[in-house]
Structure 1
């Protein structure tokens, strides 16, 4: 049976790698954080109240240090999760949680659901490691619920959109500069039935994912594992086609919490 400590360490390992990827991406485009860049804090903080400590941390000369720390801690997370004692793993998770929260507090521009999920995952992971089995499980239940709700809300938002229901959305998204995949966009425009099937497969996956924990007691474990593998493949596909690489780690990083919740139901 999966324990809370093991599940939290798995969240740390996967989520930490994702935060390393995120930090490497931001360090690679450091020119965007320069005074003349679109991500400079003078632009990001406009119209918002900021305290002195956040202002100090968020300027590029200091924020790049935080990103370097995030990259190092994230890259080491799998080893720490596998071999380090619990206090060391908790410290690593806390450090990554602080970096993830700093990213959210620094700016709301250019962020996505992966950034929010990273913060929630690392906070939950830290709390689970510190609290122990009896109370740590509550934080894993929370993370599992957040994962399910994220899929459900995203799926409902797509279902009410006409361009998702008729299948034209994906070609449009893949034609944008941010998520450009011209060949796939052209393929979807040529094959409307294929585009429609792709759009509905995404929506159905997201809105039906909520059934996973409820079906766990009645379905074979292999079937449930296959469902989670489909989730991993779903995010890998998004990573390849839309270059949303951090989503793979942010969302599948919460899968150990879901597995723990299914293995140790709260009631």
Structure 2
């Protein structure tokens, strides 16, 4: 999470410069309730949907043309790490740790990743300092698509929902060599895909609470994960609904 916050700072600064100067456009390729519990019987017994390839996921993931007021960038090599590089002190919490880290939970057969950056709203009356703070407070969402064989998507989704219940009181995450304390995982309500779940995640950032949002939904054999952070005071207050809706539309 610390690394994510630092990355968000750099990204927001770059975004602010782009928004103020016109900039270049990104060349990136461009049961339904939240809460916890087991997947529905229809979800587990439904015939397996098509497993998408890496190339097909690249076409299915959100792009700039799908989102007004956002920039979309391909994840860089340093943004994406292996599942083995992100661990939790409570094994049951690993699906949430992975979904927060550009990693599709479980064992996907293919994956695709994007960074979606909210463009700061322009205000001609704002001082340079206010404009800078506005840019740093913009939401940055890591979007990950994973496609699975057989019942893999249903099983991975169920593991995320189970983790939300079992890890509500918090856990520790090690991302590469960086250790972070997640103090609380609280359920939110969301509707997307065939089944969806959302959480407010409160982490400890050098003694201060760092609030982010996590959303995972399943459409057929594909899981879409959204991990949203912001450097605004109080962190992220709302789900990235526009991003979720745009991705759901492309997968439906």
Q: TM range, normalised to the smaller chain?
A: under 0.3
TM-score normalized by the length of structure 2? 0.26
Q: TM-score, normalised by structure 1?
A: 0.25
Larger Rg: 1
Give the number of the structure whose residues are more often helix, by fraction. 1
